[in-house]
Amino acid sequence: MSSRIKNLRVSTKLMLVNAAILISILLLTSLLTIAGLYFSLYHQAEVELERSVTEVRRSVARSETMSDAELPEPMPPEAKEWALRQNPDWVPPPPFLRLLYREGVLTPGVVLRVVDASGRKIFDSALHYPTVQEVEEHIISDPPFWANKEMQVARFENFYMYYEPLTLTWRGEAYQLHFIRMITAERDFLRALGNGLLLTNLLGVALALCACYYVSRRALAPIRAITEAARAIEVTDLSRRVETPPAKDELSELVQTINHMLDRLESGFEQQRRFVSDASHELRTPVTVMLGYSDMLSRWGREDAETLDEGISAIRTEAENMKALIERLLFLARADQKRQVLNKEPIDFQALVADVAKKADLVKGDHELTLEANEPGTIFADEVTMRQMLRIFIENAFKYTPAGGAITLSSRREGRALRVEVRDTGVGIAPEHQAKVFDRFYRVDSSRSKIGESTGAGGTGLGLSIARWIAEIHDIDIQLESEPGKGTTIRLTIPLSEEKSGGEISA
């Protein structure tokens, strides 16, 4: 059963939940109405009966202290004669009953019957009510929930009664007083009311189901539209977007989130497509060269030592280039998957810069490398990747600076950061290319590429992408200034260490 409920459509679940809530409210309201009505009837009868008993007690007690002159006058003779003609066993009521009648202490609706010590009925305020004997025979031991447990309840076919007997002594004579109060004389009306409420509730349940179905369908219509639109979007065509609803509600936020996700997916797929295309292009060139030289060696290399040496040297060079390219691709792949392991720890940056400059000076070739300034400072970083980043910027300066050009490296302290600059006097970068040079496999124009080829350091277009990732993971700000024909300056703002503890992290 639970699995069936889980497999229901959201619109059906929403309809059932709303219908259940409405039906519960409807049934609870009906039950409370009936219960409140019954409680009100029983409570009203209880209060009126208790008030009558209390007032009769008080009046009888007061009449015992009154003189005969203060008591109501006896009945006129003609009234006695009429009463005796109607009932030969009639006995004149005692004076205290005349006092009760004169003062009207009985609450309307309460019946009083008085019996003397001999068992003879001497007063009855309602002859059409069941006799005392009949009332006592119909006393029930399990009264309704809302009845007063301290009072006796008599149940007849169409009504209930409260019954309260009371024994009083007036001037030495004992009298039995029987108080009766009708509770639900409208039992047929209450039964009809209950049946009417039952039919009304059934109709309300049907209307609630229909209304909840309609409301759930209307409420989920935008979601169905979003689903259809999203279903129409294919991986091969991520340019489509879901139309944003005019209302600024949760659905509008959902559509905006989906569209934003599609923007990122489209960007990611496009970046992946370019990455695969460019990587294939970069790998195809050395593979083609190696295949060409291997074919040449298979034809003439066995007999020609010069050809053999040239082929082996070319194949080795291309293999080394391919190895470097693959290593950089793997580095970026690990970085994209956040699996690149970094071991951040406090580093003496002054010593690191000096060591990088010293090793770069060994391979400067026809360029002039100058360490202009190297102020002390400790940073919290991964030493291996920091060296790699600095080497990438210095190698790029060598690569795109003609022979005889100058490269300047400096590290100065500015507040809570180190300002590192790598300046060259190379060909520079045009303004329209400066924002893209850190993209993967991006190449500037052919003139800049020719400079790199002339220095014997053809690039893959991945170095600056790796350098940017290293900078971002270390919270380093990169600024690039360049002017065609006048050179390029890379400025790095590296935050100083704040006595953090080291350890390996994946980034």
For the domain spanning 234-339, the CATH number is 1.10.287.130
Report the b/e string of 457-493 with b at 16+ CB within 10 A. Answer: eebbbbbbbbbbbbbebbebebeeebebeebbbbebb
Bridge-based pairing state of the strands 173-182 and 110-116: antiparallel
Please report, for the chain, the start and end positions of each structural domain, with discontinuous segments joined by +.
2-192, 234-339, 341-506
* Rounded CA separation 10/217 (Å): 10
Residue 365 backbone zone (phi > 0: left; psi -120 to 50: alpha; other: beta): left
In the block, tokens 């309460």 appear at 110
CB 46 within 8 A of CB 182: no
Half-sphere exposure of 357 (CA within 13 A, CB side): 21
* Rounded CA separation 181/416 (Å): 94
Residues contacting 204, CB < 8 A, separation 6+: 22, 23, 26
Angle of CA points 5, 9, 10, to nearest 5°: 100
CB 307 within 8 A of CB 297: yes
- 417: its two tokens: 């950061």
* Rounded CA separation 460/215 (Å): 60
DSSP string, 208-254: HHHHHHHHHHHHHHHHHHHHHHHHH-BTTB----PPPPSS-SHHHHH
Q: What is the pLDDT of residue 448?
A: 46
**Rounded to whole angstroms, what are the CA distances from 422 to 384, 407, 438?**
19, 7, 16
Using CA of residue 301, residue 306, residue 307, residue 310, what is the dihedral sign? positive
Q: CA gyration radius for the chain?
A: 53
CA torsion, ordered 369, 374, 379, 385, to nearest 10 deg: 10
Residue 97 phi, psi dihedral angles, 5° rounding:
-70, -35
Closest CA to 185 of 117, 130, 229, 238: 130
Q: What is the pLDDT of residue 455?
A: 47
Bridge-based pairing state of the strands 121-124 and 110-116: antiparallel
Q: What is the pLDDT of residue 178?
A: 92
**Rounded to whole angstroms, what are the CA distances from 313 to 301, 302, 321, 455?**
12, 15, 12, 18
CB 395 within 8 A of CB 357: no
CB 331 within 8 A of CB 466: yes
Residues contacting 109, CB < 8 A, separation 6+: 45, 48, 181, 182
**Which residues does residue 123 pair with via DSSP β-bridges, in sequence order?**
114
Residue 289 phi, psi dihedral angles, 5° rounding:
-65, -45
* Rounded CA separation 39/46 (Å): 10
CA torsion, ordered 444, 447, 449, 454, to nearest 10 deg: -160
* Rounded CA separation 221/135 (Å): 66
Superfamily in which the 341-506 domain is placed by CATH? Histidine kinase-like ATPase, C-terminal domain (3.30.565.10)
Residue 139 per-residue DSSP state: B
Residue 124: Cβ within 10 Å count: 16
CB 353 within 8 A of CB 409: yes
Alpha helices (runs of H) in 409-479, residue ranges in sequence order: 431-434, 446-454, 463-473
Q: What is the pLDDT along the chain (507 residues), one digit of tens a residue?
A: 555 656 666 667 777 777 788 778 878 888 888 778 777 878 888 888 888 888 888 888 888 877 767 766 666 666 666 666 666 666 667 777 777 777 777 888 888 888 888 888 888 888 888 888 888 889 988 887 778 888 888 988 778 888 999 898 888 888 899 999 988 655 666 677 778 878 887 887 788 778 877 777 777 777 777 777 777 776 566 777 777 777 677 777 877 888 888 888 777 777 677 667 666 766 776 777 778 878 877 777 666 777 777 778 878 877 877 777 777 777 777 777 777 778 889 999 999 999 999 988 887 778 899 999 999 999 999 998 898 899 989 988 998 899 889 999 999 999 899 999 999 999 988 888 888 888 877 766 544 444 444 444 445 677 888 889 899 999 999 999 998 888 999 999 999 986 555 555 556
* Rounded CA separation 316/74 (Å): 144
